[in-house]
Amino acid sequence: MDKKKKVTEKKMPADSPKAFTPAAEDLQDAPQRVKKILAVLRKTYPQAKCALDHDDPLELLIATILSAQCTDERVNIVTKDLFRKYRQAEDYAKVPAAELEADIRSTGFYHNKAKNIQAACRAMVDRHGGKVPATMQELVALAGVGRKTANVILGNAYGVPGIVTDTHVIRLSRLMGLSPQSDPVKLEQDLMKLIPQKDWTFFSHLMIFHGRSICIARKPDCEHCPVREYCSFGRIGR
Ligand code: SF4
User: How many whole angstroms separate alpha carbon 44 and alpha carbon 46?
Assistant: 6
Write the pLDDT tens digit of every residue in 31-43: 999 999 999 999 9
Query: Is any ligand 1 atom within 6 A of the Cβ of residue 222?
Result: yes
Q: Helices in the chain by DSSP H: which ranges?
A: 3-9, 24-28, 30-44, 57-66, 72-85, 89-94, 97-104, 110-127, 136-140, 147-157, 167-175, 184-194, 200-213
- Ligand 1 binding pocket includes 163 (Cβ within 6 Å): no
Mutate to test the pocket of ligand 1, among 37, 38, 172, 232 (most ligand atoms within 8 A of CB): 172
Domains, in order of start, for the chain: 21-48+163-236 (1.10.1670.10), 57-157 (1.10.340.30)
* pTM for this predicted structure: 0.89
Q: Which atom of ligand 1 is nearest to the CA of 228?
A: 1
Q: pLDDT tens across 12-28, in order?
A: 454 688 888 898 888 99
- The yes-or-no verdict on residue 208 having pLDDT over 90 is yes
Average pLDDT, the chain: 93
Q: Which of 10, 148, 190, 221 is catalytic?
A: 148
Active site residue 72: no
Residue 104 pLDDT grade (very low, low, confident, very high; cuts 50, 70, 90): very high
Average pLDDT over residues 55-74: 97
pLDDT at residue number 15: 67
pLDDT value, residue 62: 98
Q: Is residue 94 flagged as an active site residue?
A: no
